[in-house]
A and B are shown apart, each in its own frame.
Chain A
Amino acid sequence: MKKDLHPLVMIALVAAATLFGRALPTWTLSLATVAASNALIALGIVVLARTGNVSFGQGLFFAAGGYGVALIANAWGLTDAVTQVVIGAACGGLLGLVIGPLIARYSGIFFGMLTLALSMVFYGALVKSTMLGGSDGFNVGRPTLFGMSFTDPREADFMLYAVSVIVTGFAGIGATILFRSEFGLASLAVRENNLRAEYLGISANRVISINFLIAAIFAGASGAFALMAQRHIDPQFAYWTTSGEFVFIAVLAGNQSVAAVFVASMALELVRSFSNLYLPNTWQLVLGVFLLGVILFLPRGIGSLWISKRHGRSTSKAALAIEEGAAQ
Chain B
Amino acid sequence: MNFFLTIVLDGLIQASWLFIVALGLTLVFGVLKILNIAHGSFYALGAYIAATAVTMVAARGLPPAIGFVAMLLSVALIASAVGLLLERGLLKMFYGRDEVVLLLVTYAVFLILEDVTKLIWGVNPIYATQPYELFGNLEFAGLYYVGYDLVLIPISAVIGFAIWFGLNRTVIGKIVLAVIHNEEMSVSMGVRVNRVYAIAFAFGVLLAALAGALTAPKISMQPGLSSDVIILSFAIVVIGGLGSIEGAAVGAILVGLARAASVHLMPQAELFVIYLIMAAVLMFRPEGLFKRETARRI
Interface residues of A (CB under 8 A from B): 54, 102, 105-106, 108-110, 112-114, 116-118, 120-121, 123-125, 127-129, 193, 195-196, 240-241, 244, 247-248, 251, 281-285, 287-289, 291-292, 295-296, 299, 326-328
Contact = CB atoms under 8 A, between A and B. Distances in A.
Given A291-B104, A291-B111, A328-B297, 7 more contacts: A102-B283, A120-B231, A123-B271, A129-B268, A281-B119, A284-B114, A288-B115
Interface string B204-248: 000000000000000000000001000100110010001000000
Contacts of B97: 295, 299, 327
A196 B298 contact: yes
A250 to B, nearest CB: 10
Interface string B87-131: 000100110111111011101111110111011000000000000
A128 B111 contact: no
A116 B103 CA distance: 13
B63 interface: no
A113 B275 CA distance: 11
B282 A295 contact: no
Nearest to B278: A117
A117 B282 contact: yes
B111 A113 contact: no
Nearest to B283: A102
B192 to A, nearest CB: 24
Nearest to A106: B286
B276 interface: yes
Contacts of A124: 269-275
Contacts, number: 119
Given A281-B115, A326-B98, A291 B234 contact: no
Contact of A295 (B108, B273, B275): B108
A296 B102 CA distance: 11
Nearest to A291: B108
Contacts of A123: 271
A295 B279 contact: no
Given A295-B104, A327-B98, A116 B234 contact: yes
B292 interface: no
A285 B98 contact: no
Contacts of B94: 295-296
8 contacts: A109-B35, A113-B278, A117-B275, A120-B271, A129-B268, A241-B227, A288-B111, A289-B112
A241 to B, nearest CB: 6
B169 interface: no
Contact of A108 (B99, B269, B274): B99
B93 A118 contact: no
Interface residues of B, number: 48
Interface string B272-298: 111110110011001000000000111
Contacts of B110: 288
Nearest to A328: B297
Contact of A125 (B101, B235, B272): B272
Nearest to B101: A295
A44 to B, nearest CB: 16
Contact of A287 (B96, B111, B242): B111
B100 A108 contact: yes
A251 B112 CA distance: 18
Contact of B104 (A105, A196, A248, A282): A248
A240 B115 CA distance: 18
A106 B282 contact: yes
A121 B275 contact: yes
A121 B276 contact: yes
Nearest to B272: A124
A193 B97 CA distance: 17
A177 to B, nearest CB: 26
A54 B279 contact: no
Contact of A110 (B37, B227, B270, B282): B282
A299 B99 CA distance: 14
A48 to B, nearest CB: 12
A98 B188 CA distance: 47
B4 to A, nearest CB: 24
A102 B286 CA distance: 12
Given A247-B104, A295-B94, A285 B115 contact: yes
Contact of A128 (B115, B238, B268): B268
A113 B234 contact: yes
Contacts of A54: 100
B238 A117 contact: yes
B238 A113 contact: yes
Contacts of B227: 240-241
7 tightest Cβ-Cβ pairs between the two chains A and B: A124-B271, A288-B111, A124-B272, A128-B268, A288-B112, A285-B115, A291-B108
Contacts of A295: 94, 97, 101, 104-105, 108
Contacts of A240: 227, 231
A284 B111 contact: yes
Contacts of B269: 124, 128
Contacts of B270: 124, 128
Nearest to A129: B268
B275 A120 contact: yes
Residue in B98, B103, B111 whose Cβ sees the most chain A Cβ within 10 Å: B111
A289 B116 CA distance: 12
